[in-house]
Structure 1
């Protein structure tokens, strides 16, 4: 069965992969396999690559000196796994309910329906499905209408097929990544003015950025981390992630902007690697 590519991934650029540093690799990997349904694609002495249908989504690595990051450190708010459709979101919810997965919350964001949880080391996770793009409402300034309303979990659960759950469906992807940062004006400067993402929505203490009028590929907030400085070496949590460009011209423009502003970067896997103002790694690639 051919799965239609999610709208988020057809935009000029999108989040492709995420890399977490953990203290207990077997425990965390087991969680993402059993509770989220990711499969191990690669293994090494220091880590594992997990994904769906041989597509890598999440890298987990560990080391001797890794320590749990404080809750107020800059880094990950959540990695958001985008389901191909609402049926797959409901199917995952049914699996979660039958396996006593503890949820942190659930929201109707108008553009999407989202369920929140955390892995065993406190890394935030969102499991969500987008509503059709033609149903989204946009303001005159180009920003998208979003809200945080109660999601009717019972109704979603009741809509799930009563078949066997065999893990994340083909076509599941990382739809967006949500970051904890030290301050929003600096995040706006970096993600909008340097990387060229469009500011799609704003909330008190948060900004949402995207390409191609998606609701957001990257978000940044200060809800737990206001005033946070650069991440220290050896912290658990988000090490880095990849922003993949669908055409090389867009990537070349982004790299040219980095050169123009004299932002430190280095060549990496056909693209460039840099760090945001809080030390979170980011690879731009085509």
Structure 2
């Protein structure tokens, strides 16, 4: 697995032909949710207005929060966000964040060892799911003969992770942290397969009952889609809280051109914007394809 072994471990997710850029959530209480992502996740304000805020690290936008006058809370079974997954550059940074969260008495929703990564789960004040995780070295992942990767959901020893944390004060999210993947709630897994694999050209790297995991360039997953809460969900409305849209960044222009040609051949509407090429998935979740 020369491509895997040769890659820089701390940026493997981001050096693939396609990776996740920033994400955008619609919220009802902008001040409360924004404060949570700053104080608990350690993001910094990059831009701010009356109706929205852009948060990130080292000047790099990761999360946009906006509100609107007609905003309505999305039901739990709506299509949209399962969680936004923030990728820490090292296990030490993950442990440092865990110690910070423990000292702030943050309630965690769970913690798992996925073989390829170690992950901690929580929710923001409006119930938007969050994963904080660190990848194991790609050379330690186990690939199957068809190029898929072995993943599992096993118990993570939180105490051991906490004990390994630096004893210094936590100074916020690491400057080279990123959004490693987006996990979506969708209405139908086969339709998600057709769209994310067949249209956007990602490879299905793993399957769980009711879920598929898609990636570019041998990563374990950049996008996941499940029906655990949302089976048969229809399209989202713009005024719903939760996930409005997210960006897929293309490191390779040829890959982007190929996807755009597929979208054109299938007559899927695409709008050119200042950020890139904008479209919606089958459940109304916005995607910006950016070079």
Above 0.5 in TM-score?
yes
Matches within 5 A, 1:243-282: 243-269=248-274, 271-282=276-287
Matches within 5 A, 1:169-180: 169-180=174-185
Number of the residue aligned with 2:171 = 166
* Aligned 8 A contact 1:4 1:171 in 2: no
Number of the residue aligned with 1:108 = 113
Number of the residue aligned with 2:211 = 206
Number of the residue aligned with 2:22 = 17
Corresponding residue to 1:96 among 79, 86, 101: 101
Alignment deviations for residues 166-198 of structure 1 (CA, whole Å, 9 cap, x no partner): 100111000000000000000000000000000
Instruction: Return the alpha-carbon distance in structure 1 between the equivalents of residues 160 and 45 of structure 2.
Output: 32
* Aligned 8 A contact 2:204 2:214 in 1: yes
* Aligned 8 A contact 2:18 2:250 in 1: yes
Instruction: Return the alpha-carbon distance in structure 1 between the equivalents of residues 284 and 91 of structure 2.
Output: 35
SS at match of 2:19: strand
Instruction: Return the alpha-carbon distance in structure 1 between the equivalents of residues 56 and 276 of structure 2.
Output: 22
Matches within 5 A, 1:233-252: 233-252=238-257
Alignment deviations for residues 215-268 of structure 1 (CA, whole Å, 9 cap, x no partner): 000000000000100012310000000000002111111111101111111112
- The number of equivalent residue pairs is 284
Instruction: Return the alpha-carbon distance in structure 1 between the equivalents of residues 261 and 223 of structure 2.
Output: 21
The answer as to 2:90 corresponding to 1:85 is: yes
Instruction: Return the alpha-carbon distance in structure 2 between the equivalents of residues 26 and 42 of structure 1.
Output: 14
Number of the residue aligned with 1:185 = 190
Unpaired runs of 5+ residues, structure 2, are 1-7
Superposition TM-score, scaled by structure 2 size: 0.96
* Aligned 8 A contact 2:89 2:174 in 1: yes
Superposition TM-score, scaled by structure 1 size: 0.98
Instruction: Return the alpha-carbon distance in structure 2 between the equivalents of residues 268 and 253 of structure 1.
Output: 18
Instruction: Return the alpha-carbon distance in structure 2 between the equivalents of residues 277 and 55 of structure 1.
Output: 29
* Aligned 8 A contact 2:15 2:251 in 1: yes
SS at match of 1:6: helix
More divergent stretch after superposition (225-234 vs 201-210): 225-234
The answer as to 2:222 corresponding to 1:217 is: yes
Q: CA deviation at 1:151?
A: 0.1
* Aligned 8 A contact 1:269 1:285 in 2: no
More divergent stretch after superposition (212-221 vs 256-265): 256-265
Distance 1:150 1:194, change over 3 A: same
* Aligned 8 A contact 2:10 2:90 in 1: no
Instruction: Return the alpha-carbon distance in structure 2 between the equivalents of residues 164 and 122 of structure 1.
Output: 28
Number of the residue aligned with 1:227 = 232
Instruction: Return the alpha-carbon distance in structure 2 between the equivalents of residues 232 and 29 of structure 1.
Output: 22
